[in-house]
Chains A and B, each alone.
Chain A
Amino acid sequence: MIRSARISTPILMREQYPLVKRVLFHITGRCNLSCEHCYTAAFAEEQGDAGVRSAALRVAREFDVPLDITGGEPFVTGATWRLLGEAAACGVEISSIFTNGTVLDANRLRRHRDLVRSTTFYVSLDGYLGSHDVFRGRQSFSRALESVARICELGLPVAVNTMLHAGFGPEDLRRLYECIRWAGVRRWRVDTPFNAGRWRSNKAVRALSLADAFEAYRMILRWSLDDELPLELELDHALKYISGRFVYLDAFNLDSPVCPCRTLTIWPDGSVTWCQDLHRESDVIGRVGEDPAVLYARYAPFKMRTISDLLAASPTLGGCLDCRSLRSCGLGCRANAVLDCGDELARDPEICELHESGHHRHLGAELRAYAERRRPTGHAS
Chain B
Amino acid sequence: MKNKADRAEPRIAGTSTAIHPEQAPQDIETVLRELRALGLDVVPGSISVSNKPTINSNSGG
Contacts and interface: CB of A to CB of B under 8 A. Distances in A.
Contacts of A321: 12, 17, 19, 23
A330 B45 CA distance: 11
Contact of B60 (A37, A96, A335, A374): A96
Contacts of A255: 13
Interface in A21-37: 24, 26, 37
Contacts of B45: 240, 247-251
B38 interface: yes
Contacts of B50: 250, 260-261, 330
A374 B48 CA distance: 29
Nearest to A162: B58
A151 interface: no
Nearest to A334: B54
Q: Which label, helix, strand, loop or mixed, suits the secondary structure of the B interface?
A: loop
A330 B40 CA distance: 25
B53 A251 contact: no
Contacts of A348: 53
A247 B14 contact: no
Contacts of B22: 324
Contacts of B15: 312
A368 B10 CA distance: 31
Task: Specify which of A247, A255, A326 lies most central, judged by the most chain B CB atoms within 10 Å of its CB.
Answer: A247
Contacts of B39: 371, 374-375
B44 to A, nearest CB: 4
A172 interface: no
Interface stretch (A76-84, A103-111, A186-194, A207-215): A186-194
Interface residues of A, number: 78
A152 B44 CA distance: 31
B3 interface: no
Nearest to A96: B60
Task: Specify which of B12, B25, B26, B47 lies most central, judged by the most chain A CB atoms within 10 Å of its CB.
Answer: B47
Q: Which label, helix, strand, loop or mixed, suits the secondary structure of the A interface?
A: mixed
A348 B51 CA distance: 14
Given A263-B60, A312-B12, A327-B25, A351 B53 contact: yes
Interface in B31-56: 31-32, 34-35, 38-56
Contacts of B48: 15, 260
Nearest to A22: B60
A177 interface: no
B60 to A, nearest CB: 5
A161 B26 CA distance: 32
A336 B54 CA distance: 8
A290 B23 CA distance: 45
7 contacts: A12-B47, A98-B58, A240-B45, A250-B45, A251-B46, A372-B38, A374-B39
Q: Which 7 A-B pairs have the closest CB atoms?
A: A371-B38, A251-B44, A250-B45, A333-B53, A246-B42, A260-B47, A261-B54
Interface of A: 12, 15, 17, 24, 26, 37, 39, 68, 70, 96, 98, 124, 161, 163, 189, 191, 193-194, 234, 236-240, 242, 244-257, 259-261, 263, 275-277, 306, 308-309, 311-312, 321-328, 330, 332-336, 348, 350-351, 355, 361, 364, 367-368, 370-372, 374-375
Interface of B: 10-15, 17, 19, 22-28, 31-32, 34-35, 38-61
